Amino acid sequence: MWFSQEVRSELARLPAPRECCRRAELAAFLRGGGRLELSARAASLEVEVQDPAVARRLLGLLKETFPVSAEVLVRRNNRLRKNNAYLVRVPPSADVQGILLALEATDEAFIPSAGVPPFVWRRSCCRRAFLRASFLIHGSLTDPEKGYHLEWAVADYSLAQGVQRLLASFRVKSGLSQRKRGFVVYVKEAEDISTVLRLLGADSAVLRFENARVLREVRNQVNRQVNCETANVDKAVTAALRQIEEIKWFDDHLGLEHLPRRLREVARARLAHPEASLAELGQFLRPRLGKSAVNHRMRRLLALVRAHQDRVREGR
């Protein structure tokens, strides 16, 4: 899924000038991959992400928004994981509780809150920021040449519902389904996917998506046309084979010389050019005939042959 990766790296590099939005993004990171460790001394905070650019963004947001020291640790891949994981960590300190409260991630007793924090709802910029950060952790997008599908795969229902409501607040239609592990919020309409990418701030991805969409639609249109033409050709070939069968039957039983001249000419032309369309057949006749005239004669010819076939059968 190259497109997913492109969107992620574009989003991870966006500037985050507003403090309210930085907090909204951080809240999404905590809800998505945050792990709180409490000890007798103090609380520490860890967020695990899979992408180094996303880890750098998270670290930057933290340091710009809160006066804390934070670090990124790399967890090397072992046999169980395919990729490295990146831990953004705030070491044990009294500051951790302040961060959690400011982000409405837990209450004073460190009980985690569910869904999208209330402060995120207040501004549309923050709703977009929350969607952006949660897409960075949970999101993926099918390559637009292959189909239209954008999704958030999240662990718990309250977050899935929250994402769906945030999307609805921007009039984006989404579906919610349950998977083996967790829940998926998905967007299927090309128009809506475009809107989501724009909301997230992935402007160059929007352009690429729209280009791919146009190409795909043109290609589908061409395929439909080709299928339609192929079907017509098949039909014409089948019809021609049937005509040849009938004409040969007549020739065997009565002889083509017993046909009226105009019909005989059409019959001979058909036997000589089995693959020709009716319009092409008309070009082999003298004088030349148009498609509808050939069609007319062919029908009379076949009706005549069938009348003879009936007579032969009755005579038996």
Encoding tokens for residue 40?
Answer: 């007798």
CB-nearer residue toward Zn ion: 20 or 218: 20
User: Residues 3, 12: contact at Cβ < 8 Å?
Assistant: no
Select the residue interacting with Zn ion from 20, 38, 241, 312 (CB under 5 A). Answer: 20
- Per CB under 5 A, the segment of 69-77, 124-132, 174-182, 264-272 that binds Zn ion is 124-132
Minimum distance of Zn ion from residue 21's CB (angstroms): 4
Cα(81)–Cα(307) distance, integer angstroms: 77
- DSSP-assigned letter for residue 257: G
Cα(133)–Cα(161) distance, integer angstroms: 16
Cα(213)–Cα(194) distance, integer angstroms: 10
CB-nearer residue toward Zn ion: 18 or 146: 18
Cα(197)–Cα(190) distance, integer angstroms: 11
Encoding tokens for residue 271?
Answer: 């036997």
222 binds Zn ion (CB under 5 A): no
- Per CB under 5 A, the segment of 48-56, 122-130, 144-152, 196-204 that binds Zn ion is 122-130
Minimum distance of Zn ion from residue 65's CB (angstroms): 12
Q: Are strands 85-93 and 43-49 parallel, antiparallel or unpaired?
A: antiparallel
Cα(256)–Cα(251) distance, integer angstroms: 5
- Per CB under 5 A, the segment of 35-43, 94-102, 126-134, 282-290 that binds Zn ion is 126-134
126 binds Zn ion (CB under 5 A): yes
Select the residue interacting with Zn ion from 16, 21, 45, 167 (CB under 5 A). Answer: 21
- Per CB under 5 A, the segment of 18-26, 90-98, 267-275, 284-292 that binds Zn ion is 18-26
Contact positions vs Zn ion (CB under 5 A): 18, 20-21, 123, 125-126
